[in-house]
Structure 1
């Protein structure tokens, strides 16, 4: 992916000369597409199944279970409208070389069977778990594998009548013929079965469409028409790159870390990578960020991957440990079914099973890992399920609802959040839950949040700061000032009260939020422009 250019006058431009662009992104998966869209920004409704509405106290939108192809299609549709970005399909990374200032990448046009070179300031490898970019850099991975062999089968069936009122994002399968779970992306026609299998009895290379159909039929447990779309084996393992950066080449998404899908942490970790990296790359390209700012990408994001990868493996181990505890293992299917029946009728065994079910809580309730991480915190969270609103540097700005009647113009340009699908909400509640404090943060600026009572002082302070950042180096640097009581109002309630108290706005504090929505620093009342400038300079690496 790269900014577009016109080579219509030279049919052989690809192979005869290097193409000069600011950033080359290798890989067109979710991380690569979103990285391209975010960098481009800087220089439809989703299927919903009932979930706990209380999550909207912590995040402005419900947790959605989105198939990766659908996510890629959504981002690609927006990216196609950008004239400064070009997506090249059927082109493959070959190698790259660095000279300290530029990266020269050799790319193969597989359709034309020719190679050409691209020169860029930066290269971002978002090319998956078997990343050629990472391999080219010689970057090794840390991690471990278990002995659990898994099969993922993608199929389409209408499971509405099968599940009835028991609608869920994930349905467990506890049958001697197949143990695992079905992820219902869309219960009408889009599901994935993840199951444990005996690699000695059924080696991975022996699997075929017929075997997959037999396994899916056993998992559904009813006569339903379906089509097997794809299948692939994998091992319950985790890998995290030892380095996320070598010179001006970076890795992100699955190229930087890969771990099991148990918990849904993999894709979200990758999206967190590109959200973190986007403004830092833009800062370096535009001249207001240094190499040390780029170094913070690894120091901040790698720790998150280590924690999330360990939790994903733990989730996988606990879920299949439970399935084994039920007693479905036996020398024959008949004996296994008998064991299962005994397990469900034996009081002592039922207690073991219920304990095992409770141990799955972190698998399905892990909001703390998704949005509760704090950059710079090296401790492993005590519980993946526990999300604590943090107002300290490095934390994601906590969410609180703000009134749609008073908003900055750029927030008004954002689409209002639609929570009308949540049956627990009244019409009035839906109207109140349209905009979040996260919508105050501009993607292309550092946002400063203050209170009306001290707005005069902070306006004067930031004017001095703007003078200090008025030279050519800071040309593209932006500060976005928002004032409680002038630019926005909080929806009355406990969460809004906590938000103001946490940020200490009524004490005259000014809070600077980075473009990636994480808190940079809080400044007590009467802090000087020099102190604010020093904090920005330190973060940007000057």
Structure 2
């Protein structure tokens, strides 16, 4: 490879990223936006889509895609634009429907006329349902064209070694090619549940290794969409006496992912007939032909690594945590890991912060991933405890009553999963060393949260007009957000920002007009990071910003305060 001229010997690159899935690719894209060079190592060929996996891109991830210029491309991918992203409850994919969570299509989102529990969220980008098979090629093409990224597909990392000054990754190219080494300042392990990087730093996963076994089959069934065309859905939860499972529309036409949920006894003796289970869940007769495209059986777990970092090596995504993949929050939480880490690494590599800020990564992300894993596990157990009512398929009053009862229960249990406002917006980084504490963050659940400017929380969203979000005004590092113009001249804010910059804090200014300030903005000022988390707030700006800049990580300010 060609060594970046900005890098001093003996480094070849700033950061090596092991794993070129969504997490690793987003780390590379974010670091590139900060001028940080990366090598991304991925053993799959370029643009070879993965097996069908995650089907949901959360609002927080879509907000990140907006910042990186990818939101429109992602929202245009996957299902046809007018295909509802609803979740229906039925006796089979083609059977009797007894409940539905309405989720707008991509086209309805663009028009702003869709109905559903997530359409009133305070966000710049609502969520989108798209299978990872369509998502990853978009990310790969984008990352491959970036100036500071060396994307190496068909390449495997075979070893990781670090010392006080850097990390050496040993890589083997296509077809068992010659091994080469790459020397970097830092290394990110985004290499999945069987992570070599995790093993290299001696990190171990702890928690609940087996919560449920799932038989997962991707199938092509010509004509199946026509049988439900009058009321299509993105997802179908199937309940019947023969089999329970889920079905997800992959292309909106004839490709579907079928999850068959196994009892412990069935998992132990591998007794489930896959063909019979698929037919029972889809509602197919024995005479209907279908094609199996892939099989990817999995185990629902709740596991979190005991450490997310060893000196210059970091873990993100499935390398750091594995849990019940409800709502796609494994991938989305992994992307949140990666973007958090990229912000911190960028701060150090570009020189305005020292290595001490990297302690914030584990302090911020490890508690959150543990919280989310427990919420997902609790949700799984509630669903597993649901009894299937008798007469569910009966064509009489008893059947109608049973379906109505189960439909209402299924909606209550699952709307929080598929419209998970709390998991998107409710978590906070109140234990971080670069967050200035100020009160307790509001509690949140999977489905609910309270917008707040308490430091550590997500800065509440504001539309500034003409499709411009306050988040679009956040600078690459920190932004002083002023809630209303009344009462202080612009020159005063400009003077304070200039003084903070002189102290070494990279900070921008954004003003929310008086008539747009939400009730959740209870102080005049807030300082937010680009990842939208509040770092400080107050009604009066400090006379000397150096001390605050030091708390927020600025090297020059720390040196001045220490002197």
TM-score (norm 2): 0.75
In 2, are the aligned partners of 1:60 and 1:436 still within 8 Å (CA)?
Answer: yes
CA distance in 2 between partners of 1:194 and 1:229 (Å): 14
* 1:345 has 2:408 as partner: no
* 1:527 has 2:542 as partner: yes
- Taking a change above 3 Å as real, the CA distance of residues 212 and 86 of structure 1, as seen in their structure-2 partners, is farther
Q: Which has the higher helix share?
A: 1
Equivalent position of 2:451 in the other structure: 389
Equivalent position of 1:402 in the other structure: 464
- Taking a change above 3 Å as real, the CA distance of residues 286 and 215 of structure 1, as seen in their structure-2 partners, is same
CA distance in 1 between partners of 2:10 and 2:255 (Å): 43
CA distance in 2 between partners of 1:215 and 1:133 (Å): 37
Equivalent position of 2:16 in the other structure: 24
In 2, are the aligned partners of 1:156 and 1:227 still within 8 Å (CA)?
Answer: yes
- Taking a change above 3 Å as real, the CA distance of residues 524 and 98 of structure 1, as seen in their structure-2 partners, is same
Runs of 5+ unmatched residues, structure 1: 8-16, 328-337, 405-433, 470-476
- Give the C-alpha shift of residue 138 in structure 1: 0.6
Equivalent position of 2:61 in the other structure: none
CA deviations on 1:119-161 (whole Å, 9 max, x unpaired) are 1100000000111100111101111034532112122345432
* 1:513 has 2:522 as partner: no
CA distance in 2 between partners of 1:70 and 1:204 (Å): 35
Alignment coverage as a number of residue pairs = 464
Q: Which one of 227, 246, 260 corresponds to residue 181 of structure 1?
A: 246
Runs of 5+ unmatched residues, structure 2: 36-72, 85-102, 105-114, 432-439, 559-563
In 2, are the aligned partners of 1:343 and 1:350 still within 8 Å (CA)?
Answer: no
Matches for 1:165-314 after TM superposition, within 5 Å: 165-198=230-263, 200-201=265-266, 211-222=273-284, 226-314=290-378
Deviates more, 1:342-351 or 1:110-119: 342-351
Q: Please give the secondary structure, in 1, of the residue aligned with 2:327.
A: coil
Matches for 1:37-436 after TM superposition, within 5 Å: 37-43=29-35, 44=73, 45-46=76-77, 47=79, 48=81, 49=84, 50-51=103-104, 52=115, 55-146=119-210, 148-157=212-221, 159-198=224-263, 200-201=265-266, 211-222=273-284, 226-322=290-386, 324-326=387-389, 341=394, 345=398, 353=406, 356-357=409-410, 358-376=412-430, 381=443, 383-404=445-466, 434-436=467-469
CA deviations on 1:437-473 (whole Å, 9 max, x unpaired) are 211113x23112224342221112222223333xxxx
Equivalent position of 2:474 in the other structure: 441
In 2, are the aligned partners of 1:24 and 1:124 still within 8 Å (CA)?
Answer: yes
CA distance in 2 between partners of 1:78 and 1:204 (Å): 45
CA deviations on 1:218-275 (whole Å, 9 max, x unpaired) are 2221466643221122222111111111000000011111112123211110111111
Q: Please give the secondary structure, in 1, of the residue aligned with 2:326.
A: coil
- Give the C-alpha shift of residue 163 in structure 1: 2.6
Deviates more, 1:66-75 or 1:240-249: 66-75
In 1, are the aligned partners of 2:225 and 2:254 still within 8 Å (CA)?
Answer: no
Q: Please give the secondary structure, in 2, of the residue aligned with 1:196.
A: strand
CA distance in 2 between partners of 1:138 and 1:458 (Å): 48
TM-score (norm 1): 0.78
Q: Please give the secondary structure, in 2, of the residue aligned with 1:375.
A: coil
Q: Please give the secondary structure, in 2, of the residue aligned with 1:230.
A: strand
- Taking a change above 3 Å as real, the CA distance of residues 253 and 152 of structure 1, as seen in their structure-2 partners, is same
In 1, are the aligned partners of 2:169 and 2:183 still within 8 Å (CA)?
Answer: yes
- Taking a change above 3 Å as real, the CA distance of residues 290 and 215 of structure 1, as seen in their structure-2 partners, is same
CA deviations on 1:463-487 (whole Å, 9 max, x unpaired) are 2223333xxxxxxx632212345xx
Q: CA RMSD in A?
A: 3.1
CA distance in 1 between partners of 2:398 and 2:190 (Å): 50
CA distance in 1 between partners of 2:249 and 2:421 (Å): 20
In 1, are the aligned partners of 2:455 and 2:534 still within 8 Å (CA)?
Answer: yes
